[in-house]
Each structure stands twice: as structure tokens, then as C-alpha cells.
Amino acid sequence: MNKTWNESVRSSLKNANDCNEYFDNDRFQDGNFPIKIPLEFAKRIDKTNPLDPLLLQILPKERQSKKGFIDSPVYDEEFSPVKGLIHKYPSRVLLISSSVCAIHCQYCFRQNFDYDDNDVLKNWADIQNYLSKRIEVNEVVLSGGDPLTLSDKKINKILRKIESIQHIKTLRIHTRTAVVIPSRITEELIASLNQTKLKVVIVFHINHAQEISDEFVNNIKALRNHILLNQSVFLRDVNDDSKTLAELSYKLFEASILPYYIHLLDKVSGAESFLISDNQAHKIYKALQNMVPGYLLPKLVRDEGGESKRLVI
């Protein structure tokens, strides 16, 4: 934990010229979804491999006209009764805790989301009023953006506010920042999570074993008192084979993380090139079932924009 994560954020590659110079190519072009690549993530990319699975996730693609691809594929806005809160599931809500991500993955389903009016702290009075009247809600999910792009002070402030609602028992944090900038797992963050009375579940977003660095594995040791899970997205040319997914499951397990979900692609405009067919996904998943034990097999799911995810197989 020697690096300063804020410095890592500031030194990220943020335009096509910088990326083409860094990777010594001319494949990057500035597009609709801005480029953002932390150097820690960039250093894990093999510059000599044009099909490197990490490179393909952050390389902007030209938008294609393909049926079914829209700006808001999971219809978050339709399930937002108050600003900053999404309520799709009876027992849990999701808070848009940050408008910022540490990395811009080109398949991101919220790349077109309107974050301007959805700040959790700014809208907390309305959020607290909403939650206080719904005792059936026992879990709060921090998402975004990425909640770990917030300062430790802000995260601690949000934790205290959530704790004040008596019927909330579980806090779930969804993050990719901790993976792409492992130094984000600070002593202050660890202390906040260890001290909360809430049951803490951390869901990392890792698509390929190559993303798992030694620094990340070492830093998350301090989080092993909590439940550590992972979710992935099925991505063409990145992880669309059973051997790659099996390797990911075993490497996650070595780090004390359990595979949780593998999502079929949310059809957001701009991510057309990542799509694999349902038939191909089923074949890969069936093969994966024969390669890993049941506890290392993520659930294959699709979010169709309704009130819940649907198990595909």
C-alpha cells in the first residue's frame, strides 16, 4: 500500500494521443465515451499483443447500428423513486454513490447515465425518508460510477448515514477501482469497513485472470473478514472460452474471492462488438461446469431491465 491512489487516478491515460504513445500504436481514437486507463492497469497489458484481453476492454470502438442496443439497456431511470436511489428488488436498494469510475470500460452499461442530479449525499434527506418507510429493505448496495472513487472520509460518512436506519443490516459495495488501482484499499477504508455494524459484502468486477495483480491479492487480505465475491461480463474475444473462465475462477479462489455472477452483455450503445450469442454463451458455460467445482461456478444471468436478474442456465 505504498502508492497514493489519488495520484494514480490523476496520472491515468485520458486521451487517444497519450494512449497511442504509451502503447506505441495508432488504434486509439477519442469517441463518445471518454478514455480513462489507470497506469497500473495499462502496465498489465501486453503491448505486443493486439488482442490482449485487457486492451480490448478499454479500446474505443466505432458505434454500430445493431438491433436492441440502446443508451439505457437496464432502464435504471424507471426504478428511481428518488434521486440517487434505484429500487428494483423488494429487499434491497442501490445507491448511485459516485458519478466517477477509475477506468472507462467500453462495454459499461451506465456510460450514458445522467449522474448530475443523483449525488447520494446531496439527496440524502429524500433517500433517508424513502428508506425509513420501507422496513422490508434490509440491504443497501453502493454502486455508481464506482463508490471507491470517493474519499475515505465520504465513504465513512455514507456508512454512518446508512447505519442510522435500523432495518438496514447489509452493505454491499460493487467496485472495479480496487482491482485496477489496488492502492485504493487504504488503511482508512479497511478501518471503516471493519468498524461498521453492517454486514459487508464486496463485489469486485474482474473479467480475466490477467487483471489480478499481486498487489491486489496482497491488499485484499485485510478485507477477508468480509464476504468477497466477483462478477464478470461475457465479452467477445476477452473471456469467451471455458478455459479462460476456469482460470479466472481458480485465481479468484486463491485470493479468497468466490465467483458470483457472469452477466450476458447489457446491450448499451457502443458495446456492439463485445456481444456473443446466447447459443455460444450456453456452450461455453456448459463446458465451464465440467471444469470447476460448483462453488467456483458463477451464475449466468441476464438483466433485461425488469425488476430482477434472470438466470439464463
pLDDT of the residue at 308 = 56
pLDDT of the residue at 2 = 47
CATH number of the structural domain spanning residue 266: 3.20.20.70
Give the distance from CA 103 to its chain's centroid. Answer: 10
CB 297 within 8 A of CB 308: no
The answer to whether residue 131 is domain-embedded is yes
Confidence at 1, pLDDT banded by 50, 70, 90: very low
pLDDT of the residue at 107 = 95
The answer to whether residue 93 is domain-embedded is yes
What percentage of the chain has pLDDT greater than the value 90? Answer: 85
Q: Give pLDDT tens digits for 148-172.
A: 999 999 999 999 999 999 999 999 9
The answer to whether residue 274 is domain-embedded is yes
pLDDT of the residue at 205 = 98
Q: What mean pLDDT is predicted for residues 211-233?
A: 97
The answer to whether residue 286 is domain-embedded is yes
Mean pLDDT value across the chain: 94
pLDDT of the residue at 61 = 84
Interatomic CA distance for residues 289 and 229, integer angstroms = 18
pLDDT at 241 over 80: yes
CB 64 within 8 A of CB 273: yes
Question: Where does residue 172 fall: left (phi above 0), alpha (psi -120 to 50 degrees), or beta otherwise?
Answer: beta
pLDDT of the residue at 306 = 57
Which residues span the domain enclosing 170? 63-311
Q: Give pLDDT tens digits for 276-313.
A: 999 999 999 999 999 999 999 999 999 876 555 677 76
pLDDT of the residue at 304 = 72
Q: How many domains does the chain have?
A: 1
The answer to whether residue 44 is domain-embedded is no
Interatomic CA distance for residues 15 and 31, integer angstroms = 10
pLDDT of the residue at 305 = 65
Q: Is 140 helix (H, G, I), strand (E, B) or coil?
A: strand
Nearest-10 crossing angle of helices 152-163, 187-195: 10
The answer to whether residue 48 is domain-embedded is no
CB 146 within 8 A of CB 110: no
pLDDT at 44 over 80: yes
pLDDT of the residue at 264 = 97
pLDDT of the residue at 4 = 84
The answer to whether residue 258 is domain-embedded is yes
The answer to whether residue 240 is domain-embedded is yes
